[in-house]
Amino acid sequence: MPPTGKEAALLGVGGVVGVSLAAWRTLFPWIGYDLPILKLGRKYGKKTMTDALNGHFLVDLFEISAKNNPKKPFIIFQDRIFTYEFMNEQACRVANIVLQMGLKLGDTVAILVSNEPAFVWTFLGLQKIGVAVALLNTNNKHKPLLHSIEISEAKVLIVGQGSDLFQNVDDIKQELRIPVYLMGTGIGEAPVGYQSWDQLMLSAPHAEISRTMRSGMNLLTPCCYIYTSGTTGLPKPAIINQTKALGMSKFLYLGGLEHDDIVYTVTPLYHSAAILALFTTMDCGSTMLLRTKFSAHHYFEDCRRHNVTVIQYIGELCRYLLAVPEHPKDKVHKIKVAVGNGLRKDIWEKFKDRFNIPQIVEFFGASEGTAATFNVNGRVGACGRLSPLLSKLHPSGMAIIKYDRLKDAPYRDKNNRCLPVEFGEPGLFIAGIPEFYKDKFYKGPQEVNEKKVLRNVFKDGDSFFNFGDLMYMDKDYFIYFQDRVGDTFRWKGENVSTNEVANILTSMDFIHDANVYGVTVPGHDGRAGMAALHLNEREKLTKERLKQIYDHSSENLPSYARPLFLRLEEQTRVTVTFKQHKVDLVKEGYDPSIISDPLYYLSNDAKTYVPLDASSFGSMLKSRL
């Protein structure tokens, strides 16, 4: 909803002068909601600017914390304490190793490492000489993994401990053209074709690295690449330059993070959510409690044992915690704030009340995006604010515009202009693109970047970043997430590309086409994958074929991307422009009472797809999905 004429006038420079706070609140009741985020934004925006002006980049912030508090715990992992001093020494070993390899500022190293301290010190060591770090998704394998490595232009691949990680790399080893180093070999030799990272670390000096080794670093120098899946079907490396990294290092301050706080992170470190927490922890000089994998049953036990004060979540995580039977000690902890994204309105208050969480800070953003929004007011279900004042404070503006779901595109009027939504109307969230982005959000071909840009939105020559998310706004200018649009949906806290899943399915020689989409499941956040299949002529979906689909999906897709439901159609549904038609399929879902086509669901117990009909529908909903 755009500001009225009165609002627009008073939001101008001339109108602001001489207007008291009381007058503002009388004229604009919503202005009071802006004050907390304005106060925080001013404080930490100033700190970010000061860091930049002083030439302090992300790794400098860590080094300052290590110098000021060398013996303080930085990482707590598996009941072991890793101090700032120790982590810095390990990072220096990494830096000295890669210097000996001849790597330098501007090069890239890919790391495939699970949650462990080695991830952090490897990342920091590479940053000490200005090497960008490609943070590979540990769930990926085969083509997505190979693509992720190749598109990053990494000169070296470092693989963490674990047989699964090694196997996934070994499957593509013949196609890799870069050296591969393995963690976890100890003093033993690495397998043929690999090199031992452990042996290098044991012999490397931990002498501090001079800042001159990264003297050419600037605000546009890539810090790391965080992979995101999208409409192209393969992971895309979002560019996190030093400017964005500095901004990310102030993230948890919105929840009041202080020097003595302990932050609990269970999300994968290759994911932007965990990276936000890690960056802020090292800037603040706080402590991070790190866990290999999330465990709902041990979550609050960990919080109590380690005196956690700040927790970080994704929405599904909170739902899993609520699913654990109530415990007398649910409210016994020192948590002061939960910060994250994806906490849905239906469980917000349940989560807050059951576990006695004093404050929840919900945010919205994207690794490759040009803006973020924050709800520091505690408005249930909201992921931020988009008041006339806040939208003007963004360097290039933010808006929610009308969206045509049938055309799967922004609505444009007779003048080919986009229109802002009314209060309560779902629309597409967009944000202006600051000039320094140069329309470059991902590393790779420019045509991939161009797909995220909307041009001539409100006037000739303007450009906006398309987040691909539908939002709506209430009359107080709080905004709420509605849904994903286009060819991606979200399940288990991860974005799933329908094209990637469809490509995997249609690589099977008996499947002619696969139309993949997301469907809602009671009691679960996001949308689960469903595929409408059209088989080749004379093919039938036998038990053997269903088992083959299960095995093929399990081998080639991460667990969150595998279709939970299958629908067998005689013909693929397409629009008049020969695009797959999903709207009716999404509406019909997987209800056997209204669908005559054969339906199947993924059974983890049977390790195959089994028929879904009226008699099995109830038990399916109660099963492990």
36, part of any domain: no
pLDDT of 621 above 90: no
CB within 8 Å of 491: residues ≥ 6 apart: 518, 526, 527, 528, 529, 560, 561
210, part of any domain: yes
Question: Which of these three, 450, 484, 518, is where a domain ends?
Answer: 484
pLDDT class for 2, splitting at 50, 70, 90? very low
454, part of any domain: yes
Do 530 and 554 reside in the same domain of the chain? yes
CB within 8 Å of 37: residues ≥ 6 apart: 254, 374, 376, 377, 385, 390
Do 450 and 584 reside in the same domain of the chain? no
Instruction: Pick the range with the lowest mean pLDDT from 134-138, 388-392, 600-604.
Output: 388-392
Q: What is the pLDDT at residue 575?
A: 46
Cα 128 versus chain centre, distance: 25
Q: What is the pLDDT at residue 398?
A: 94
Do 462 and 505 reside in the same domain of the chain? no
Phi, psi of 124 (to 5 degrees): -65, -40
573, two tokens: 């549904």
pLDDT tens digits, 413-436? 999 999 999 999 999 999 999 988
Do 540 and 408 reside in the same domain of the chain? no
9, part of any domain: no
Q: What is the pLDDT at residue 237?
A: 97
pLDDT of 39 above 60: yes
Do 412 and 538 reside in the same domain of the chain? no
Phi, psi of 393 (to 5 degrees): -75, -20
59, two tokens: 């790794």
pLDDT tens digits, 196-246? 999 999 999 999 999 999 999 999 999 999 998 644 468 999 999 999 999
Mean pLDDT of the chain: 90
Q: What is the pLDDT at residue 17?
A: 40
Phi, psi of 598 (to 5 degrees): -60, 135
- How many angstroms separate the CA atoms of 249 and 61, rounded? 9
Q: What is the pLDDT at residue 98?
A: 98
Q: What is the pLDDT at residue 579?
A: 54
pLDDT tens digits, 279-306? 999 999 999 999 999 999 999 999 999 9
580, part of any domain: yes
Number of domains present in the structure of the chain: 3
Do 470 and 503 reside in the same domain of the chain? no
609, part of any domain: yes
In the chain, the percentage of residues whose pLDDT exceeds 90 is: 74
Do 204 and 345 reside in the same domain of the chain? yes
46, part of any domain: no
CATH number for the domain harbouring residue 230? 3.40.50.12780
CATH number for the domain harbouring residue 447? 2.30.38.10
Structural domain span for residue 506 = 488-622
pLDDT of 357 above 60: yes
Q: Which residues sit opposite 531 in a β-bridge? A: 516, 566
Do 175 and 152 reside in the same domain of the chain? yes
Q: Are 463 and 455 in contact (CB under 8 A)?
A: yes
Question: Which of these three, 356, 378, 403, is where a domain ends?
Answer: 356
- How many angstroms separate the CA atoms of 209 and 189, rounded? 28
CATH number for the domain harbouring residue 615? 3.30.300.30
Q: What is the pLDDT at residue 23?
A: 59
pLDDT tens digits, 571-583? 777 543 335 678 7
226, part of any domain: yes
Do 549 and 609 reside in the same domain of the chain? yes
Q: Are 183 and 198 in contact (CB under 8 A)?
A: yes
Do 279 and 198 reside in the same domain of the chain? yes
pLDDT of 4 above 70: no
Residue tagged 């059951």 (tokens): 354
Q: What is the pLDDT at residue 1?
A: 52
> Whole-prediction pTM value?
0.81
In one-letter notation, the amino acid at residue 296 is A
- How many angstroms separate the CA atoms of 324 and 319, rounded? 9
Do 390 and 288 reside in the same domain of the chain? no
Alpha helices in 370-412 (DSSP H): 388-393
Q: What number is the average pLDDT over the span 354-371?
A: 96
pLDDT of 162 above 80: yes
Do 315 and 245 reside in the same domain of the chain? yes
Q: What is the pLDDT at residue 526?
A: 87
Question: Which of these three, 356, 375, 402, is where a domain ends?
Answer: 356
